[in-house]
């Protein structure tokens, strides 16, 4: 496994393949208030590619090209936040997407534990540390421990998707899951537009 850190954008010519796992680190969990600090990605080959985002940065052409590429499937765990954050930061709406948390909630109805750590333990037998989850991602220089933590959030998503797809097919919910994934970018836009906590489908 190797971590590759870039400043501001992905390098020209880097091809991460047709399915890219993505996660973001920010100064907090409020997309309007807390700035995007790091975008980590993996093509499923054990390599992690990370883009450190500068304060006030509003463009990342190579990254955004990949986010909007209809031929590249983007894998997330709780993609709603990451998609909204990158849309708010760069104006690029990520699609098409797959979210392992949504898949888990649709098929692992025997538990309320849908965090990535629990999913990896149960379905893949992989243990990851969440020790760096609340660290300062806005620091000018990120530590090796921070980068290793960031990488761990994307390195296993390809295998996790395979495991969840088997369960979704077995339970007859694959089509429903796909419809949710297709709607996810719109849900993220609603968050940014001012309806983060409102169920617009509710009667009142």
Domain boundaries, the chain: 2-193
pLDDT in tens, 20-55: 999 999 999 888 899 999 999 999 999 999 999 999
Q: Across residues 61-70, what is the average pLDDT?
A: 98
Summarize pLDDT for 95-130 with one digit per residue, the tens.
999 999 999 999 999 999 999 999 999 999 998 876
Choose which CATH entry (3.10.20.90, 3.40.50.670, 3.30.420.10, 3.40.50.2000) describes domain 2-193: 3.30.420.10
pLDDT of 126: 92
Secondary structure of 9-68 as H, E, C letters: CCCCCCCCCCEEEEEEEECCCCCCCCCEEEEEEECCCCEEEEEECCCCCCCCHHHHHHHH
């Amino acid at each position: 496994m190797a971590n590759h850190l870039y400043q501001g954008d992905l390098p020209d010519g880097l091809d991460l393949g047709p399915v890219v796992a993505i996660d973001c680190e920010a100064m907090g969990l409020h997309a309007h208030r807390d700035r995007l600090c790091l975008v980590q990605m993996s093509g499923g080959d054990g390599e992690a590619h990370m883009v450190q985002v500068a304060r006030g940065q509003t463009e990342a052409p190579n990254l955004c090209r990949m986010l909007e590429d209809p031929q590249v499937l983007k894998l997330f765990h709780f993609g709603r936040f990451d998609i909204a954050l990158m849309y708010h930061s760069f104006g690029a709406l990520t699609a098409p997407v797959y979210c392992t948390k949504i898949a888990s909630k649709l098929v692992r109805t025997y538990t309320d534990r849908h965090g990535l750590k629990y999913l990896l333990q149960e379905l893949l037998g992989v243990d990851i540390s969440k020790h760096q989850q609340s660290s300062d991602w806005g620091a000018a220089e990120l530590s090796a421990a921070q980068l290793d933590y960031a990488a761990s959030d994307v390195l296993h998503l390809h295998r996790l998707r395979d495991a969840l797809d088997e369960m979704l097919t077995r339970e007859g919910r694959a089509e429903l899951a796909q419809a949710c994934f297709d709607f996810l970018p719109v849900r993220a836009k609603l968050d940014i537009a001012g309806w983060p906590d409102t169920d617009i489908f509710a009667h009142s």
